[in-house]
A and B are shown apart, each in its own frame.
Chain A
Amino acid sequence: MERLTPEIARLFAAKEERRHMLAALPFAEKVRAVVRMQKMAAPLLRARGRPVRVWPL
């Protein structure tokens, strides 16, 4: 298997670090992030015929 270059390994490590930072956020802050994701995903899902609703906060 090909080894990762140091640059790519550093990018993956940074992504992993960000995931852990997001996991440590307060619950209410995470819910707000979920709603932001809903707003981004909803138009795509509706275009595919899946009726979804963005939650009110």
Chain B
Amino acid sequence: MQGTLQVLNELERAGVLGRYAIGGAMGATFYVEPLLTFDLDVFVVLPRAGGGLLSLAPLYEALRARGYAEEGECVMIEGVPVQFLPAYNALLEEALAQARETAYDKTPTRVLRAEHLAAICLQTGRDKDRERVRILRAQAKLDMDYLAGVLTRHQLEAKWNEWKG
């Protein structure tokens, strides 16, 4: 995974990505027990294309030029299938802006905050998201004041209360 993160850092330095952070199951694994996954979900702020549209095409092109091929919805980067998810709404933009700086071995990287991971699960709303929220509540040290702010800003309190049971 170190090689994968080095490529992401290089893409960010080159301006192909505005900013990136790890989310999904691997993001959650940062805060809770290891969760089985085969994909690395990476949230990205993309530079705006012509007409202000968000497009992954320039990123995929830059990756192809570096020899990394697409496989379904992922790009295989140094042996790890990476799924890029553009920040397409206010919650994701905020989550990326406030992501935690960390390191994997000695490679710097970013991981979404646990509170944002929970909020994104609430917004997405699938069964597996509900299970992930349960695990985050049980094991991650959530900052409840911070979480309350996120839930209020993104109108997710009702869903949180419903899922909290």
**Which A residues have a C-beta under 8 Å from some C-beta of B?**
19-20, 22-23, 25, 27-28, 30-31, 33-34, 37-38, 41, 52-53, 55-57
Say yes or no: is B140 at the interface (Cβ < 8 Å to chain A): yes
**Structural contact, B79 and A55, CB atoms closer than 8 A:** yes
Q: Is the CB of A22 within 8 A of B33?
A: yes
Contact at B1–A23, with CB atoms within 8 Å? no
- Cross-interface CB contact of B34 among A20, A37, A53, cutoff 8 Å: A37
Main secondary structure of the interface of B (DSSP, over half): loop
Could you write out 7 A-B pairs with CB less than 8 Å apart? Answer: A19-B33, A27-B111, A34-B26, A37-B34, A53-B38, A55-B38, A56-B78
Interface of A is mostly: helix
Partner of B38 from the list A27, A31, A52 (CB cut-off 8 Å) is A52
> Given the known A-B contacts A34-B37, A41-B36, are A27 and B30 also in contact in the complex, defined by CB atoms under 8 Å?
yes
Q: Is the CB of B35 within 8 A of A34?
A: yes
Q: Is B105 an interface residue (CB 8 A)?
A: yes
Q: Please determine whether A23 and B31 come into contact, CB atoms closer than 8 angstroms.
A: yes
CB distance B31 to A55 under 8 Å? no
Q: How many B residues face the partner with a CB closer than 8 A?
A: 25
Shortest Cβ gap from A2 to chain B (Å): 21
What residues of chain B lie closer than 8 Å to A57, measured between beta carbons? 1
Our pick among A30, A53, A56 for the contact of B29 (Cβ within 8 Å) is: A30
- B34 and A33: CB pair below 8 A? yes
Within 8 A of A (CB), among B104-140: 104-105, 111, 138-140
Asked if B98 CB lies within 8 Å of chain A CBs, one says no
Interchain CA distance A57-B1 in the complex, whole Å:
6
CB-nearest residue of chain B relative to A20?
A: B139
Distance in angstroms between the alpha carbons of A55 and B140 in the assembled complex: 25
Which residue of chain B has its CB nearest to the CB of A32? Answer: B34
B23 at the interface (CB under 8 A from A): no
B29 CB to closest chain A CB (Å) equals 5
Let me know if B155 is at the binding interface, CB within 8 A. Answer: no
